[in-house]
Amino acid sequence: MKKKWQNFSKKSNRLTLSLFWSSSAASFLLVLILTASLALCLQPLFFIISARRDERQTTQMFKINHLALAIAEQEGWCPACTNNNENGSLTFRHHNPGALRSSPFQVASKNGFAVFASDLEGYNALVWDLTQKAKGNTRTALNGESTLKQLIHVWAPAADNNNPDSYLKFVCSKTNFTPDMKLKELLN
């Protein structure tokens, strides 16, 4: 008798579990279908919002990267075996395309300039520095209302044997930016 009761009890539990699973699975499936339907309806809206956000970020990064590349070229950042310099330029050997004097990302300092672990880290530090200047987060007093001309005069001062006007002319020719462009435009 005991054995028959155990068999019935096991069958009963399986039946209960089966009914529970069926109703749970059906509920889950219904929720899944409704969620998928809603997602398909809203997908174009999410895509438009995401595309607009990405477009702003891409435009911002394009402008800053364009300026950073022009600065790197003006600073003489070039690999070895170019420009008759078998070791590459000082900025190239230091992985410092912007000729930054200091940076929170530097691993060392040499000859008065920051040294970075890799070219990518040096380039990212340059872009970060330009972004901070455009936001007004530096000790240079530059901010979003500062002009490209003011940035270049701080970046490459005459006191360091630079020709800021020539530097500015080069950067403007490479980027098609104007000398009176506000730095906040790099962030828009």
Residue 46 pLDDT: 44
Q: Report the pLDDT value the prediction gives residue 77, as an integer from 0 to 100.
A: 83
The answer regarding whether domain 53-186 maps to CATH 1.10.530 reads yes
How far is residue 95's CA from residue 55's CA, in Å, rounded to a whole number?
30
Q: What is the pLDDT of residue 33?
A: 55
For the four alpha carbons of 58, 73, 171 and 160, in that order, the dihedral sign comes to positive
Tens of pLDDT, residue by residue, the chain (188 residues): 555 545 544 554 444 444 444 555 555 545 545 455 544 444 444 444 444 455 554 555 689 999 999 999 999 887 654 555 567 788 888 999 999 999 999 999 998 999 999 999 999 999 999 999 999 998 999 999 999 999 999 999 999 999 999 999 999 999 999 999 999 999 87
- Using one digit for the tens of pLDDT, what is the confidence trace for 60-107? 568 999 999 999 999 988 765 455 556 778 888 899 999 999 999 999
Helices 164-175 and 2-74, axial angle in degrees (round to 10): 130
Q: What residue ranges in the chain does DSSP mark as E strands?
A: 108-110, 113-115
168: three-class secondary structure by DSSP: helix
CA atoms 137, 131, 70, 92: torsion sign: positive
Inter-residue contact 110 to 118 (CB < 8 Å): no
